[in-house]
């Protein structure tokens, strides 16, 4: 990472390790598709389980993929944090503090956390219609951004409900219940406590082949940010406009060699 980089006008996107790894898959699509997105650094931390692998986006590259990486797109004023490995047990609070301190030190204009939530936890009212929701760290939901999200894009705040401890959580307390959402809920609450401009975008999902939900989530983000332009004004961005990274060939492991015997 360039220590002299000025990211004060940038949006910071965080991929959250959550049900179906959908936030990570959505971040993969952003990094792979958006031109001029380049690796800017790594987060080396004892809080995140260590992994190492081939470059996820470039054939025959000498670069390695590690547990937690930063990608920068100067043209779009965008920094993406791609977390490829889960946290060690009991390290969520510490990791959230690391992220929040990083957001504060770099003075990002806004932060967006991409995550998912268990579909089997849905309320009856959430079973139909859009399977995406958002939450905001703002106390005032009548600011210009949220009016745009709700009135122009028809987005829905995550509905009020009881959590597993039977506590009422709602958009006023900004502790929206996100079962299976990883650190997203804690991150949003901590951002609010620190007066940071942050959002959580989520999609309801089951475990399994979650590529369709990854496209849903990244298209949901793109409705707001328009990182990927529409082919025309009437037609929304479709999945084929996103560039699938080479690493997705191995989502289910390497193919078995035909010469392999048992």
Q: Where are the beta strands (DSSP E) in the chain?
A: 11-15, 38-42, 52-54, 64-66, 68-73, 78-83, 110-118, 132-136, 161-162, 168-169, 198-205
Domain 11-250, CATH number (from 3.40.50.10900, 3.30.930.10, 3.40.50.2000, 3.30.70.240)? 3.40.50.10900
pLDDT confidence bin for 252, thresholds 50/70/90:
low
Distance of CA 9 to the CA centre of its chain: 19
Express each pLDDT in 114-162 by its tens digit.
999 999 999 888 999 999 999 999 877 788 999 999 999 999 999 877 6
Determine the straight-line distance between the first and last CA of the chain, rounded to whole angstroms: 47
Question: How far is the C-alpha of 99 from the C-alpha of 218, rounded, in Å?
Answer: 21
Residues 6+ apart with CB under 8 A from 217: 22, 23, 26, 114, 116, 132, 201, 202, 203
Q: What is the pLDDT of residue 235?
A: 58
Closest by CA position to 96, among listed 110, 84, 83: 83
Which is higher by pLDDT, 109 or 123? Answer: 109
Question: What gap in Å lies between CA 157 and CA 141, rounded to an integer?
Answer: 10
| Tens-digit pLDDT profile for residues 24-42 | 999 999 999 999 999 999 9
Return the higher-pLDDT residue of 139 and 192: 192
Q: Is 241 exposed, middle or buried (0-12, 13-18, 19+ CB in 10 A)?
A: middle
Q: What is the domain partition of the chain in residue ranges?
A: 11-250
Q: What is the pLDDT of residue 3?
A: 63
Question: Could you tell me if 37 and 31 are in contact, meaning their C-beta atoms sit under 8 angstroms apart?
Answer: yes
* Nearest CA-CA partner of 242 in 223, 224, 219: 219
Rg of the chain's alpha carbons, rounded to an integer? 18
Q: What is the pLDDT of residue 174?
A: 41
Comparison of pLDDT for 232 and 44, the residue scoring more: 44
pLDDT for the residue 161: 72
Decide if pLDDT at 170 tops 60. Answer: no
Which pLDDT score, from 0 to 100, does residue 102 have? Answer: 96
Beta strands 38-42; 52-54: pairing state? unpaired
Reduced to 3 states, what is the DSSP secondary structure of residue 80? Answer: strand
Distances (CA, A) of 149 to 85, 154, 220, 224: 31, 6, 11, 7
Predicted local confidence at residue 171, as pLDDT: 47
Confidence of residue 255 (pLDDT cuts 50, 70, 90): low
**Which pLDDT band holds residue 86 (cuts at 50, 70, 90)?**
very high
Which of 61-65, 152-156, 170-174, 256-260 tops mean pLDDT? 152-156
Name the average pLDDT for the chain.
88
Percent of the chain with pLDDT over 90: 68
Model pLDDT, residue 1: 58
Residue, of 256 and 48, whose pLDDT is higher: 48
> Is the dihedral angle over the CA atoms 57, 17, 218, 144 positive or is it negative?
negative
Beta strand pairing status for 78-83 and 198-205?
unpaired
Interatomic CA distance for residues 247 and 127, integer angstroms: 32
Q: Give the model's pLDDT for residue 27.
A: 97
Q: What confidence score (pLDDT) does residue 2 get?
A: 64
């Amino acid at each position: 990472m360039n220590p002299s980089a000025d990211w004060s006008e940038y949006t910071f996107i965080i991929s959250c390790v959550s049900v179906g790894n959908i936030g990570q898959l959505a971040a993969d699509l952003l990094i792979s598709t958006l031109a001029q997105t380049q690796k800017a650094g790594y987060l080396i931390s004892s809080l995140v389980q260590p992994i190492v692998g081939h470059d996820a986006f470039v054939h025959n590259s000498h670069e390695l993929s590690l547990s937690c990486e930063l990608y920068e797109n100067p043209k779009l004023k965008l920094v993406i944090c791609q977390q490829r490995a889960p946290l060690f047990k009991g390290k969520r609070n510490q990791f959230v503090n690391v992220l929040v301190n990083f957001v504060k030190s770099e003075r990002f204009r806004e932060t967006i956390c991409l995550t998912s939530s268990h579909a089997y936890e849905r309320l009856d009212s959430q079973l139909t219609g859009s399977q995406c929701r958002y939450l905001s760290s703002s106390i005032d939901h009548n600011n210009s951004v949220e009016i745009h999200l709700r009135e122009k894009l028809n987005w829905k705040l995550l509905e009020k409900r009881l959590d597993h401890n039977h506590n009422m959580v709602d958009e006023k307390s900004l502790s929206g219940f996100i079962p299976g959402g990883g650190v997203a809920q804690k991150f949003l609450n901590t951002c609010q406590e620190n007066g940071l401009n942050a959002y959580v975008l989520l999609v309801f999902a089951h475990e399994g082949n979650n590529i369709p939900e990854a496209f849903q989530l990244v298209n949901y983000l793109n409705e707001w940010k328009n990182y990927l332009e529409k082919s025309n004004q009437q037609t929304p961005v479709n999945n084929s406009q996103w560039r699938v990274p080479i690493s997705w060939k191995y989502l289910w492991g390497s193919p078995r060699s035909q010469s392999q015997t048992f």
